[in-house]
Structure 1
Amino acid sequence: MMKHAAALHLARFFVVLDSETNFAGWRDAARRLVLNDVPPEDIAWEVREGAGLKGAGLPDIPEGAELRVPREAVSRLETAFCHSDPNRFGFLYRILWRLRNEPELLKIASDSDVRRFETMEKAIRRDIHKMRAFVRFRKLGEGDDERFIAWFEPDHFIVERNAPFFVRRFTGMRWSILTPYASIAWDGSSLLVGPGATKRDLPPEDGSEELWQTYFRSIFNPARLKVKAMQAEMPKKYWRNLPEAALIPEMIAGAEGAAKEMIARMPTVPAPHHAKVQAKHWPKREPQADNDGADAATIDELHDAAMGCRRCPLWEGATQTVFGEGPDNARIVFVGEQPGDQEDIAGRPFVGPAGKVFNAILEEAQIDRQITYVTNAVKHFKFEPRGKRRIHMKPNTGEIRACNWWLNHELALIKPDLVVALGATAAQALLGKVVPITKLRGQVVTREDGLQVYLTVHPSFILRIQEPAAAADERMRFLNDLKDVKKLMGV
């Protein structure tokens, strides 16, 4: 405190910012000072909430003077500005001061200032990620009064910077996120930033806690449990605000037994009735070209024709063709990648672990199953035998093209208003080319024939995420994708 007071006393200039997050005010003051060759040690910085930007005789910018620094550096300075270090304003000014004459400064990894700067950036990125992963909403009100309220305690001043993410993610909801230093609220059309709050302002529990716990149990994989890694990704300080955290001790304690039980339930290769099912559908092993489904007038007829499909070699190892299911006048067709182990045995799509996730989220999105049809881009299970297990293998381009015969016939008979591509393989089958799902996710692509294709991830992607909070976050993203589909269809 005495050191800070001494710095204020000795400084030639002092700048008062009206908030911890007033980067625009800091940048304006820093620009004026650096263009007048004011060294870092001659400036003192202070925050006084509500004071407005003030400076002790800040100089004007000299006529014709320009501050040239890399654009990326300005963006990085804005990120580091969110750090909670009270000395950051002077430190970031020193970075700016040096950048003027050392434009490549931030590429020098051995520089002590650069190392400190990168540590600050990393802390901000981590805090932003934690907020996205660990915000848990509670419902307040019903109907037109319905709102969702959440509480979060960040380490740094990242709430305003993180707000656009939550607007994009929860556009269709009215919500507020309360934190100790600032609160943000979205009313469906505009974002509001207000003062901080306390956890006492959070509504009482609404039952969503039980849903989070149920979901946490469903995605918990005891065979992949790494306690230290989990606690690094989900530090204990966040546990008090996470409803699922109450389950962690008991699930860690029972992980070993659960893992053994799960391994014991693993499917074997081949299924005991594999040969019988194959014999029923393919009594002869030679190709049968007499019924390729070209004349099928209904989905049932196309289904029967597909049972003898041998358009690519995948039929030889699979138990049976797994065709699509749903009404032949469905408005929405969901296309996945290929059947998995359980689908191959059951002969039905989306009945395995990923299918269960998909069905649960489809129900949460309130999409009527009576208007949906589910199928896969490839109709036979492609796998690699590994001991007694069959390990999923990604279909190649030739197999996707071969099976397009059936997918195109399905779409021609159903004539849906919208097709949802679940993952990269489905997108490739529907659009005829490889597309970056993560980049185009949530977009609608219109094919040359007029068919509209909505792009999102496959639900199995959620199951592959090992960190529970990240998996929960991804599940919420997928739910919002399906809500977008519902909105697009007006159902």
Structure 2
Amino acid sequence: VVPRDFIERAETVICHCDPERFGFLYRLLWRLRSEPKLLSIATDPDIRRLEAMEKAVHRDIHKMRAFVRFRKIGEGPDERYVAWFEPDHYIVERNADFFVRRFTGMRWTILTPHASADWDGERLAMGPGAAKRDAPAEDDAEALWRTYFENIFNPARLKVKAMQKEMPKKYWRNLPEASLIPDLIAGADKAASDMIARMPTSPAPHHAKVKAKHWPTPEPSDVAAPEADDIPELREEAKGCRRCPLWRDATQTVFGEGPENADVIFVGEQPGDQEDLAGKPFVGPAGKVFDSILDDAAIDRHKVYVTNAVKHFKFEPRGKRRIHSKPNAGEIQACRWWLDKELDLVKPNLVVALGATAAQSLLGKAVPITKMRGDVVEREDGLRVFLTIHPSFILRIREQEDKEAERERFLQDMRKVKQLMGA
């Protein structure tokens, strides 16, 4: 009996361009007779080869779906869309149903060197391979498409290596927009600088009325130190905090969350845009990175306390967006009162400072995070503070390889935290 998994995987691998694929699959089939668990042995050379061939075919299928560009020929009853594509593997027939589902209402033909697929609106027909000259060179819509592509290009998010990984240069010769890419890359730095230099726009005139209606301002609290006996009471007191001007523009106070008997407290910088709206710490993009790495380090977020050095979102408005702005020393000092009270109530054995702002708040002075990363600093009160980066730093790295390396470093930091928690 042949495992169903082998049949499904063989149907994929048979599309590979390797001329030895049939002999290779036969060898696997023969081995499965005496090694029924062969497919689960990831270290076996044949299985590694099988997985590599599968991955190559699946990637080629994905690239075909992403980079096929149809060109219109004919008008009225004779209207048809024709595309030329150069896949690495024999994937046209395997991929044709996708294009039927996506473009059911069109009559189209996809030409490749290996095979062709033709859909007349009712029936799919496979045919022989073709040459590039058999496909139209250009159509009237391509100038419009290039204009659209040029205007949606975001120079601030340009990552050349990542782009070329997802859109290898071998596909460029058949993409209408590819002629724009070199100039867009060359001018990206200046375009990004121009974007940053633009003045932020003010909120719409009716913003104040909307805010007053939907986000009522709490009554001011006294400036005296909070007298709460537990975290829920402290959270309620913090809703009326007026210790610095940040409360005026923020949606709400974003207080810490977690068990009051947690062994460790993670302290970030300040809430971001999504945290400000949700009223919860670390739920935005950086929070997702944080959760993922905690999970990889076997740290249960539900068993730790998570908070920020500054409890209100500081930002600059730019159009319809709110861009994060780093809190200053006065704002950090004003909010330190709340953080100290959280530390008093939770009484952790360890505090993790995520970034320079958190470290400054916890230690009372600025420290070089990059030099002291991974160090444990003991405060005068005996509390241990572990220093590392903020997870948002990982998100700001452009190159994918560097991003993955930094994520691995942060994971190692969290594994050290796990060991310190156990100690």
| TM bracket (short chain) | 0.5 to 0.7
Where in structure 2 are the equivalents of 1:214-233 lying within 5 Å? 223=154, 224=156, 226=158, 229-230=160-161
SS of match in other structure, 1:303: helix
Q: Could you tell me whether the CA contact under 8 Å between 1:442 and 1:481 is conserved in 2?
A: yes
User: Which residue number corresponds to residue 352 of structure 2?
Assistant: 420
User: Which residue number corresponds to residue 289 of structure 1?
Assistant: 222
Change (3 A) 1:205 1:307: farther
Change (3 A) 1:276 1:327: farther
User: Which residue number corresponds to residue 318 of structure 1?
Assistant: 250
Partners of 1:248 and 1:366 in 2: CA distance: 35
Change (3 A) 1:476 1:455: same
Partners of 1:313 and 1:296 in 2: CA distance: 23
Change (3 A) 1:296 1:464: same
Partners of 1:354 and 1:406 in 2: CA distance: 23
1:453 corresponds to which of 366, 379, 385:
385
Where in structure 2 are the equivalents of 1:97-112 lying within 5 Å? none
Partners of 2:240 and 2:343 in 1: CA distance: 20
1:392 aligns with 2:324: yes
Q: Could you tell me whether the CA contact under 8 Å between 1:383 and 1:392 is conserved in 2?
A: yes
User: Which residue number corresponds to residue 276 of structure 2?
Assistant: 344
Taking only aligned residues, the RMSD between alpha carbons, in angstroms, comes to 3.7
Partners of 1:306 and 1:452 in 2: CA distance: 25
Change (3 A) 1:415 1:202: farther
Partners of 1:353 and 1:433 in 2: CA distance: 28
Structure 1 residue 294, shift from structure 2 partner: 2.4
Give me the identity figure in percent.
59
Give TM-score, length-normalised by structure 2.
Answer: 0.54
Structure 1 residue 409, shift from structure 2 partner: 0.1
Q: Could you tell me whether the CA contact under 8 Å between 1:274 and 1:345 is conserved in 2?
A: no
1:333 corresponds to which of 255, 265, 276:
265
* Equivalent residue letter for 2:357: T
Structure 1 residue 487, shift from structure 2 partner: 1.0
User: Which residue number corresponds to residue 433 of structure 1?
Assistant: 365
Structure 1 residue 364, shift from structure 2 partner: 1.0
Structure 1 residue 385, shift from structure 2 partner: 1.2
1:379 aligns with 2:316: no
SS of match in other structure, 1:230: helix
SS of match in other structure, 1:453: strand
Structure 1 residue 275, shift from structure 2 partner: 3.6
Give TM-score, length-normalised by structure 1.
Answer: 0.47
1:475 aligns with 2:385: no
User: Which residue number corresponds to residue 125 of structure 1?
Assistant: none
* Equivalent residue letter for 1:400: I
Q: Could you tell me whether the CA contact under 8 Å between 1:293 and 1:305 is conserved in 2?
A: no
Partners of 1:471 and 1:272 in 2: CA distance: 42
Structure 1 residue 203, shift from structure 2 partner: 9.4
1:278 corresponds to which of 215, 240, 243:
215
- Unaligned runs of at least 5 residues, structure 1: 1-198, 214-221, 237-244, 257-267
1:488 aligns with 2:411: no
User: Which residue number corresponds to residue 76 of structure 1?
Assistant: none
Structure 1 residue 437, shift from structure 2 partner: 0.2
* Equivalent residue letter for 1:385: P
SS of match in other structure, 1:384: strand
- Unaligned runs of at least 5 residues, structure 2: 1-42, 60-152, 181-201
Structure 1 residue 230, shift from structure 2 partner: 2.0
Q: Could you tell me whether the CA contact under 8 Å between 1:314 and 1:380 is conserved in 2?
A: yes
Q: Could you tell me whether the CA contact under 8 Å between 1:277 and 1:319 is conserved in 2?
A: no
1:355 aligns with 2:266: no
User: Which residue number corresponds to residue 398 of structure 2?
Assistant: 466
1:426-454 Cα distance to aligned partner (Å, 9 max, x none): 00000000000000000100000000000
Partners of 2:329 and 2:299 in 1: CA distance: 31
Partners of 1:277 and 1:321 in 2: CA distance: 15
Partners of 1:205 and 1:424 in 2: CA distance: 46
1:365-395 Cα distance to aligned partner (Å, 9 max, x none): 1102232000000000011111111111100
Partners of 1:411 and 1:348 in 2: CA distance: 18
User: Which residue number corresponds to residue 407 of structure 1?
Assistant: 339
User: Which residue number corresponds to residue 241 of structure 2?
Assistant: 309
* Equivalent residue letter for 2:331: E
* Equivalent residue letter for 1:278: W
Partners of 1:273 and 1:202 in 2: CA distance: 64
